[in-house]
């Protein structure tokens, strides 16, 4: 189990941090978890979490993977982008209150330009979701964002 505060590993803050804990990570993968709570930012009236939020849970797990590696190297956490999701499949419409979800992200591709692909899974008793996430972490994120602002003003 990793004891690093999630707020130091993710470029998110407050209620937008949806995962609760990093169970483990290595060079190729990460395992995270959360318990579905009724007061969550995306909770339905019955307290459950819509299955589509699973994509964000997977994306935050991938971001935590990058944050853990940045911390190991002594680097600052960098901003990353979810470019798209392929083949999101889930066998339920929502995740019930009290369910402990485990999220697994496995890196299948990452290049020196910051493009990456992760195979992700969410599991709990009777629940299984999968997706392939395409992500982008620009090598110089701040510079990349500044360039994007400048080009939008032209």
Q: Mind spelling out the 3-state secondary structure of 13-72?
A: CHHHCCCCEEEEECCCEEEEEEECCCCCCCCCCCCCEEHHHHHHHHHHHHHHHHHHHHHH
Give the domain extent around 124.
Answer: 6-152
Look up residue 38 and give its two tokens.
């009724």
The pLDDT tens digits of the residues spanning 1-50 come to 678 888 888 877 778 899 999 999 999 999 999 999 998 889 999 999 99
Alpha-carbon gap, residue 21 to 143, rounded angstroms: 31
Asked if the structure places residue 108 within a domain, the reply is yes
Asked if the structure places residue 22 within a domain, the reply is yes
Alpha-carbon gap, residue 61 to 102, rounded angstroms: 10
**SS3 call for 151:** helix
Asked if the structure places residue 115 within a domain, the reply is yes
**What is the pTM assigned to this prediction?**
0.89
Asked if the structure places residue 1 within a domain, the reply is no
Domain total in the chain: 1
Model confidence at 138, pLDDT cuts 50, 70, 90, reads confident
End-to-end CA distance of the chain: 48
CATH number, domain containing residue 68: 3.10.129.10
The pLDDT tens digits of the residues spanning 98-137 come to 999 999 999 999 888 889 999 999 999 999 999 999 999 8
């Amino acid at each position: 189990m990793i004891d690093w505060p999630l707020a130091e590993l993710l470029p998110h803050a407050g209620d937008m941090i949806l995962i609760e804990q990093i169970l483990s990570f290595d060079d190729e993968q990460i395992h995270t978890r959360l318990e579905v709570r009724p007061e969550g930012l995306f909770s339905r009236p019955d307290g459950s979490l819509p299955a589509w939020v699973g994509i964000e849970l997977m994306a935050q797990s991938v971001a935590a993977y990058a944050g853990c590696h940045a911390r190991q190297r002594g680097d600052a956490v960098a901003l990353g982008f979810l470019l798209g999701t392929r083949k999101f499949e889930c066998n339920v419409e929502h995740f019930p209150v009290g369910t402990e979800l485990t999220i697994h992200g496995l890196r299948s591709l990452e290049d020196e330009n910051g493009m990456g692909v992760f195979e992700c899974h969410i599991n709990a008793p009777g629940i299984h979701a999968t997706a392939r996430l395409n992500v982008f972490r620009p090598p110089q994120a701040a510079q990349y964002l500044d360039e994007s602002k400048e080009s939008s003003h032209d």
